Amino acid sequence: MSTATGMDCALMTTSYSLTALTAQLDRISHYRAIAHSNNVQQVSVAPLGYLSYIVLARKQEVSRLAAISTRLKSLASLISDVRIFVRLWGLFGMYEWLVNTLRKPPKDMTMRKIVYLQIAVNILYQILENLAYLGQHKVLPIGKKRQNSYWLWSSRFWMAHVVLEFWRLKRERDLCLEGKEKAESENAPRWYEVADVMKSNGKKSVWLRQLWSNMAYAPLTVSSSMPC
């Protein structure tokens, strides 16, 4: 939490964990509500019996689960809002990324094309997300329909970045195998050293971590890019 990147990762993990948790709570509440409804029909014959007490307890339990789920959803929504607000200034970082790339572009032509494409799609993503967010909060006069369109297309540009990242990782692997270029990341071990590194000290390589991270993002970006 002491760095901007670390804080965003912590907030992202918390937000998605809460989303997964509330989905399960809603599922449990749904099935318990059905069970409660079935018990109510049985109790109607003997309203003062022990069964009435059980039904009442179950009803309160379903209400508690629903209330907990609602509060956790509010927290997840707040965290998501904070993350988007912080990203409003993301264009400055992308401008710096562009300037640094222009000053010192990758030597490999394919890697250079990938990086330039990534910068382009990220800038478009950030612009559209900013417009949608500011419109949602009534800062800009943007209607709901246009906001939804901006959210959708920003997610599609994010998905394009993920696809390009797979391409970049493949190219980086190819360069390491061919021995033509060093890996773009200074900390990333060569592909043929990955097995030895993981066996010797048990640490995951930077390349593999990036691959696994991108694989986790991929289905999320596809889902966000589909119209509701």
Answer whether 215's CB lies under 8 Å from 199's CB: no
- With beta carbons less than 8 A apart as the criterion, state whether 146 and 135 touch: yes
Q: State the Cα–Cα distance between residues 72 and 22, nearest whole angstrom.
A: 7
The overall average pLDDT reported for the chain is 81
The candidate with the shortest Cα–Cα distance to 142, out of 210, 75, 30, 151, is 151
pLDDT digits (tens, 9 = 90+) for 23-72: 988 888 777 666 655 554 444 444 544 444 444 445 566 678 788 889 99
Token pair of 174 as six digits: 């190819």
Q: What is the pLDDT of residue 195?
A: 43
Average pLDDT (168-185) is 70
Instruction: Kindly list the domain boundaries of the chain, sorted by start residue.
Output: 4-86, 105-224
Q: Answer for the pair 98, 119: CB distance below 8 angstroms, yes or no.
A: yes
CA distance 119 to 5: 18
In the predicted model, is pLDDT for residue 131 greater than 90? yes
Separation of alpha carbons 105 and 95, rounded Å: 14
Q: Which of 3-12, 18-27, 70-79 has the highest mean pLDDT?
A: 70-79
What pLDDT sits at residue 25? 86
User: Residue range 73-78: average pLDDT?
Assistant: 94
Mean per-residue pLDDT, 196-202? 42
Residue matched to tokens 């971590």: 209
- Tell me, what's the pLDDT at 200? 41
Given this model, what pLDDT does residue 151 score? 96
User: 72 with 21: CB under 8 angstroms?
Assistant: yes
